[in-house]
Each structure stands twice: as structure tokens, then as C-alpha cells.
Amino acid sequence: MEAVLDSDARSFVPVPEASHFPLYNLPYGIFSPSAGESPRVGVRIGDHVLDLSIIADMGLLEAAGLPHGIFSQPWLNAFMEQPADNRRLVRILIHGLLRETEPTLRDDESLRRRALLPADSVTMHMPVMIRDYTDFYSSREHATNVGIMFRGKEKALMPNWLHMPVGYHGRASSVVVSETDIVRPCGQTVAADGTVPGFGPSRLLDFELEMGFLVAGGNALGDPVSVDDAWDRIFGLVVVNDWSARDIQKWEYQPLGPFNAKNFATSISPWVVTIDALAPFACAAPEQDPEPLPYLREKQRRTFDIDLQVDLTASGQEEALTICRSNFKHLYWTMAQQLAHHTCTGCNLGTGDLLASGTISGPDKGSYGSLLEITWRGTEAIALPSGGKRKFLADGDRVTMSALCEKDGLRLGFGEVTGRVLPARTEAT
């Protein structure tokens, strides 16, 4: 968890002042340099992408002792499976190579032209082959808000909520990378005053502001991971939009929980920020009362101070409206607790598994992480910049989420995850 790089070092690659990607960050992603070229591993630095397949072929990462061709693959999984110390050494080597005082890449114009590409000229892909996907429900503020809406203040939290990180198994096949359009789902819904369902497009389409972490190195079936060892299984984090059809969910969720309301799409950001890069932004997690059972008690409760933002660009409008500002540190249940609880039965996680936080809401309306909360179940519409209102998402609307850390002059971010809503493709009745 300790930072291993000089956060004050500067790169010979120009990094704009407002960039999410300074020399200290160095997030990993999968990209193609141009149409027709195979995907490979890259690192983001400022407004450029460093092609690690070329750098590795030149022998510049040899000291890390990684298998040949590991950065020429279309997924990060093979790299994520390497020992953590080897991965950290790669980050150190890349950091050294990009420093303004290091001539190896800086002064080799031919190598620089091949390996250092403008970010706006490449095509980004899914960074990881996601084996399994689990979505948690770890924000006390969000769970309380939803509970009040449907059960009243006295029964806002279910009896189990303060004792374990509640979650459900999502659908890995429909996890998509940022900029992928989202088709409005169809499903069964029931009118507010009805009892018999109909079939058609969801009318209450929503976003959910989340963060997700990617597992590196799994556990054998029957072999739980302790809460204090869980940090060693986390490779890095991405921003997550877990799209949700509220009307479909209302009809289907009892007795087994979300199904079609969630399985149609989950969007993630293309750059994976490593757990090591986030070390300077570690902070205390919220106090827990009652104290959880021993297998969930952490010797040191920690999370990360990550500012989150949601912008809505309504269909036909150019101006984006910021409708949410929240923070990752609000989560009641930490990533370590989520992973430990997931494996307490002996469930086997594997490299590339995605575990998402659930909607991240803060203590006030401006920090609520879903339209369900922001409009309070559709009773308080949002006024749009160029006229009109929104209670839930309309066709053509674009949702953009971003995440940023800032502390003591150090700034790093995750970039964005964005998606536009397309009309439903089936309107059968």
C-alpha cells in the first residue's frame, strides 16, 4: 500500500496541468494504435499512450522478469497474474523511463515516434477479460435512501445490512468499455396501480455511480481470503456505471433480487488505476457500529479519498449538467471486506473478476449517486440547462462519470466512463 515512486518527479512528456494522468499515476489500458492493428497494453501519460509492447520488445522492461509477449496481448489478465513485486517493478521502470532526466526514450526520436502515441489517435478496448462480476450495496446513505422510499424511515435498512456487505452476482458478458452506446432495455413492468404485467421498453432508466476493483490472483475453491490479506488480491480500480431499469427491477426483484433490470449493461472506464498509485490518498473508512463479525474486522480500516462526479448531457442539448458530486470514502463497507465476505464460503475468485461497490451516495442530495435518489423516485424533476426536465433518462441522453484524487499538490484521476442511451430495439407488447 506504500507509494514507491517520487510524486514530485516530472516527465519529458508534456502533461497538462488539469490532466488526470501525471507521471505518478501510470494507469494501464488496452488499445489499438490504428484501425486493423492488434490490441496491446499501454500506459497513459498526459495526453499520450505509451505502447508497452514496443518498450518491452526493446528490452527496456527486462529487469522485471516477465514472460515474453505479455504486453502484446489484448487483455491485462496475464500481466495481472504476475507477482505483485514484479508488477511494481514494471511501474518503477516505466516511471524512470518517462522522467525528464532520462534520455533513453526522450532522445530516441524513432523509438519515441513508434511508442508514444497521441491518446486521441488510438482506439481503447476493454482492459480486462472479466471472468465474473459481483455488485455490492456498500453505501449506507444509498441503502438508507432507497429503504426510506420503499419501506419508510423505521425500516430503511434491512436487518442484515449493518452485519455484512450485501451483494449479488451480476452479468460479466454485458460489461462494456466507456463510449459504448447503451440500448434501452425491454422487460416486464407493472403500472403503479396495476397487478398484471406488460412488456415493453423501460420508462425508468437510471445510472448508478460506482467504483469497481479488479482481482489479481485468485483463491482456490474452498480457500477463503482473510480480510487483512484481501488487499494483496486487488490490482486496481475503474469507474463503473451500473445502468439500472427501475421499473423492471420493482416488479422482478422479489424474492431473488435484480435480474433483467441490471443484466443489459454495465460500463467501465478504460484506464485501470493501480492500488499502488492510490496509496497517497488512503484515508480512514467510516466507523462501524455494531462491530462486524471477526472475519470482517480489519486491523486497519482504510479506504481512499476519491472525488466522483456525474454529468448529464440531455438529448438535443450541448451543455452538460453536473448532477452529482460524491466520494468513494463514504462507503460503509471497504473493498477488503467485500472480497473477504465474497470468499468466506470458499467461493473461488479469479484474475479479472470485477467487484463493484454499488451506488456511492453521500450525505446530501447533491451527492446522491442515482436519479432514483436525486429525483426522489421521480417526484422532483431536474431542470436542464437549455430547457426541459428529467426524472429518469431519455433516449439520446449521455451520462459521463469521472473520478479524481487530489492531495498536497498531487493530482491523479481515472478519466471518464461515458455512455449514450439508444432507443429500445424491440417494442413488442
Q: Find the angle CA(80)-CA(27)-CA(21) to the nearest 5 degrees.
A: 175
> Do residues 270 and 76 lie in contact, with contact meaning Cβ atoms separated by under 8 Å?
no
How far apart are alpha carbons 329 and 341 in whole angstroms? 19
The helix/strand/coil state of 164 is coil
Cβ(269)–Cβ(238) under 8 Å?
yes
Cβ pair 425, 405 in contact under 8 A: no
**163 noted as active-site residue:** no
Question: Which amino acid, 61?
Answer: L
Answer for the pair 343, 224: CB distance below 8 angstroms, yes or no.
yes
Strands 410-422 and 182-183: parallel
- Annotated catalytic residue within 20, 142, 330, 341: 142
Nearest CA to 353 out of 264, 255, 268, 257 is that of 268
Q: Comparing C-alpha atoms, which of 24, 94, 28 is closest to residue 410?
A: 24
Cell 497521441 belongs to 118
Here the cell at position 422 is 439508444
How many whole angstroms separate alpha carbon 309 and alpha carbon 393? Answer: 17
Helix (H, G, I), strand (E, B) or coil at 427: coil
Q: And the C-alpha cell for 163? A: 452485519
CA–CA separation, 223 and 420 (whole Å): 41
Residue 297, classified by CB atoms within 10 Å of its CB into exposed (0-12), middle (13-18) or buried (19+), is: middle
Buried b or exposed e, range 117-151, using 16+ CB within 10 angstroms: bebeebebbbbbebebbbbbbbbbbbbbbbbbeee
Enumerate the H helices of 70-180 as residue ranges. 77-80, 84-98, 103-106, 109-115, 140-151
H helices of 107-256, where?
109-115, 140-151, 246-252
Active-site positions read 142
